[in-house]
Chains A and B, each alone.
Chain A
Amino acid sequence: MKNQWPLWEVFIRSQHGLAHRHVGSLHAPDATMAVNNARDVYTRRNEGVSIWVVKSIDITASHPDDKAELFDPAQAKVYRHPTFFPMPEEVKGL
Chain B
Amino acid sequence: MSSARYEYLLRLGDNALILSQRLGEWCGKGPALEEDMALTNNALDLLGQARLWLSLAAEEAGDGADEDTLAYLRDDREFRNVLLVEQPNGSYADTLARQFLFDAWSSLVLRRLLASSDPAIAAIAEKAVKEVSYHLRRSSDLVVRLGDGTALSHAMLQGAIDKVWPYHHELFIGDAIDAEMVASGIGFDPEHLKDEWLAYVREVLNEATLKVPAAGGWMPKGGKQGLHSEHLSKLLAEMQTLQRSHPGASW
Residues of chain A from 1 to 53 with CB closer than 8 A to chain B in the complex: 5, 26-30, 32-33, 36-37, 39-41, 44
B145 touches A41 (CB 8 A): no
Q: How large is the interface on B (under 10, 10 to 19, 20 to 34, 35 or more residues)?
A: 10 to 19
Q: Which of B34-42, B88-96, B163-171 contacts A (4 or more CB under 8 A)?
A: B34-42
Residues of B that sit less than 8 Å from A by CB = 32-34, 37-38, 41, 134, 137-138, 141-142, 145, 149
| A-B CB contact pairs (8 Å), 12 listed | A26-B33, A27-B32, A29-B145, A30-B145, A32-B141, A33-B141, A36-B141, A37-B37, A40-B38, A40-B138, A41-B34, A44-B41
Closest to A26 in B: B34
Give the docked Cα–Cα distance between A5 and B134 (Å): 22
Known contacts A5-B32, A27-B32, A33 near B37 by CB under 8 Å: no
Q: Of the candidates B34, B134, B137, which one forms a contact with A37 in the assembled complex, judged by CB atoms under 8 Å apart?
A: B34
Residues of A within 8 A of B134 (CB): 39
Closest to B138 in A: A36
Residues of A within 8 A of B149 (CB): 29
Residues of A within 8 A of B34 (CB): 26-28, 37, 40-41
Give chain B nearest CB distance to A38 CB in angstroms.
9
Give chain B nearest CB distance to A42 CB in angstroms.
9
Give the docked Cα–Cα distance between A27 and B33 (Å): 9
Residues of A within 8 A of B141 (CB): 32-33, 36
Closest to B145 in A: A29
Known contacts A40-B41, A44-B41, A33 near B33 by CB under 8 Å: no
Residues of A within 8 A of B32 (CB): 5, 27
Residues of B within 8 A of A40 (CB): 34, 37-38, 41, 138
Closest to A33 in B: B141
Q: Of the candidates A5, A27, A29, A36, which one forms a contact with B137 in the assembled complex, judged by CB atoms under 8 Å apart?
A: A36
